[in-house]
């Protein structure tokens, strides 16, 4: 500790000078790029220079060079764990991104890999990660597991007349509440109503009542769409546009129904304006999902958070299948959006 006055102060001054010079070199490397060095070597130099600064401050200003090794041990351990955390974070984010792609061959490979997923895991996906399997839920339904019956408004589009009731235990207790086979039976009563209430002229598809699996629609939405558009369809301001209300508005437009389907099936890219807010992101194409999943997710979006659009005809797997041959690009869908009068 009792180092002579001159030597330590002199070394501090030298270290400070070197730190200042290195900082200027770093600045110059970025501000006046050296073509002969190339960006990779510039990066390596920048990292090396900052490591030199780091070590000089720790060694000379924090005195680890001459101080007890215990301190060095503690600090090195912290540095090591911090670096490991850093590498782990990078791996978690970079590796999936390197694998994921919308290229057809990669989607095919992903689908092939998906086919080999164990049955138990698929069930887990089916329940949205719930702790109980659909069979267990059917055996002893809890309030949260019961699907809801939706009664559409009879008089107007006023949300206050829109009621949601849970069915009786007996109805919800029908076998395998979450499975596609059983669900139309229990959801049918509710889902016939919108089609029946709609004026027949407004429905481009078949006039016959169409049924869909509302629980399955919610599951598909929650697994694929919720991360961006949020559980209640509110989206994230500035990043992901809202679906609640907005999707129903689009549905009501001439050609809106097909546009909604195209957006999910083929994706959407380009600047859009929703409720006065500008979005310039990318909606990925979800064509790798089964027809039924896409149809049910769309039905979920149009019915889950408000009044279904007037004349609402639920999407069916056949609707989705019929659109597939068009094989639009996300830019085509953007043009489609403009064509039906949206911004």
Of 70-78, 118-126, 169-177, 296-304, the segment contacting other proteins by CB under 8 A is: 70-78
331 binds other proteins (CB under 8 A): no
Among 79, 125, 196, 318, binds other proteins (CB under 8 A): 79
- Counting beta carbons within 10 angstroms of the beta carbon of residue 40, is it exposed (0 to 12), middle (13 to 18) or buried (19 or more)? exposed
226 binds other proteins (CB under 8 A): no
101 binds other proteins (CB under 8 A): no
> Residue 89 or residue 185: which is nearer to other proteins going by CB?
89
77 binds other proteins (CB under 8 A): yes
Which of left, alpha, beta for 310 (phi over 0: left; psi -120 to 50: alpha)?
beta
Among 7, 35, 36, 70, binds other proteins (CB under 8 A): 70
> Residue 51 or residue 159: which is nearer to other proteins going by CB?
51
Q: Which residue has the tokens 């009563």?
A: 189
> Residue 70 or residue 154: which is nearer to other proteins going by CB?
70
> Residue 61 or residue 136: which is nearer to other proteins going by CB?
61
User: What are the structure tokens assigned to 315, written together?
Assistant: 């999407």
Of 51-59, 117-125, 135-143, 160-168, the segment contacting other proteins by CB under 8 A is: 51-59
x-or-dash string of contact with other proteins, 8-37, rule CB under 8 A: xx--xx-xx--xx--xx-xx-xxx------
Among 90, 111, 161, 273, binds other proteins (CB under 8 A): 90
Shortest Cβ 55–other proteins spacing (Å):
9
279 binds other proteins (CB under 8 A): yes
102 binds other proteins (CB under 8 A): no
39 binds other proteins (CB under 8 A): yes
> Residue 89 or residue 252: which is nearer to other proteins going by CB?
89
User: What are the structure tokens assigned to 250, written together?
Assistant: 């689009």
Three-class secondary structure assignment of the chain: CCCCHHHHHHHHHHHHHHHHHHHHHHHHHHHCCCCCCHHHHHHHHHHHHHHHHHHHHHHHHCCCCCCCHHHHHHHHHHHHHHHHHHHHHHHHHHHHHHHCCCCHHHHHHHHHHHHCCCHHHHHHHHCCCCCCCHHHHHHCCCHHHCCCEEECCCCCCCHHHCEEECCCHHHHCCCCCCCCCCHHHHHHHHHHHHHHHCCHHHCCCCCCCCCCCHHHHHHHHHHHCHHHHCCCCCCECCCECCCCCHHHHHHHCCCHHHHHHHHHHHCEECCEEECCEEECCEECCCCCCCHHHHHHHHHHHHHCCCCCCCCCCCCCHHHHHHHHHHCCCHHHHHHHHHHCCCC
274 binds other proteins (CB under 8 A): no
Residue numbers 227-246 binding other proteins by CB under 8 A:
237-240
> Residue 7 or residue 131: which is nearer to other proteins going by CB?
7
Point out which residues bind other proteins (CB under 8 A).
1-2, 5, 8-9, 12-13, 15-16, 19-20, 23-24, 26-27, 29-31, 39, 42-43, 46-47, 49-50, 53-54, 57-58, 60-62, 68, 70-71, 74-75, 77-79, 81-83, 85-86, 88-90, 92-94, 237-240, 278-282
């Amino acid at each position: 500790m009792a180092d002579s006055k001159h030597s330590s102060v002199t070394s501090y001054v030298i270290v400070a000078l070197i730190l200042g010079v290195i900082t200027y070199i770093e600045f110059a490397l970025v501000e006046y790029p050296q073509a002969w060095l190339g960006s990779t070597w510039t990066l390596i130099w920048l990292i090396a220079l900052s490591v030199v600064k780091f070590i000089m401050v720790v060694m000379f200003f924090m005195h680890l060079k001459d101080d007890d090794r215990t301190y060095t041990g503690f600090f090195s351990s912290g540095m090591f764990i911090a670096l490991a955390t850093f590498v782990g974070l990078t791996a978690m984010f970079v590796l999936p991104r390197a694998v994921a792609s919308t290229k057809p061959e990669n989607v095919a490979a992903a689908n092939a890999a998906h086919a080999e997923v164990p049955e138990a895991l698929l069930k887990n996906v089916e329940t949205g990660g719930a702790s109980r399997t659909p069979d267990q839920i059917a055996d002893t339904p809890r309030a949260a597991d019961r699907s809801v019956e939706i009664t559409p408004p009879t008089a107007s589009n006023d949300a206050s007349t829109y009621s949601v009731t849970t069915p009786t235990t007996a109805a919800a207790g029908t076998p395998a509440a979450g499975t596609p086979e059983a669900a139309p039976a229990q959801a049918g009563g509710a889902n016939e109503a919108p089609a029946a209430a709609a004026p027949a002229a407004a429905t481009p598809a078949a006039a016959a009542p169409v049924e869909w699996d509302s629980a399955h629609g919610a599951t598909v939405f929650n697994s694929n769409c919720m991360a961006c558009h949020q559980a209640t369809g509110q989206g994230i301001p500035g990043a992901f546009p809202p679906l609640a209300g907005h999707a129903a508005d689009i549905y009501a437009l001439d050609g809106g129904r097909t546009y909604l389907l195209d957006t999910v099936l083929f994706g959407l890219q380009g600047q859009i304006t929703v409720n006065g807010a500008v979005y310039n992101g990318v909606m990925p194409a979800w064509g790798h999902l089964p027809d039924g999943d896409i149809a049910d997710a769309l039905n979920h979006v149009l019915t889950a958070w408000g009044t279904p659009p007037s004349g609402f005809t639920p999407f069916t797997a056949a609707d989705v299948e019929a659109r597939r041959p068009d094989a639009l690009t996300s830019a085509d869908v953007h043009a489609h959006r403009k064509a039906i009068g949206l911004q």
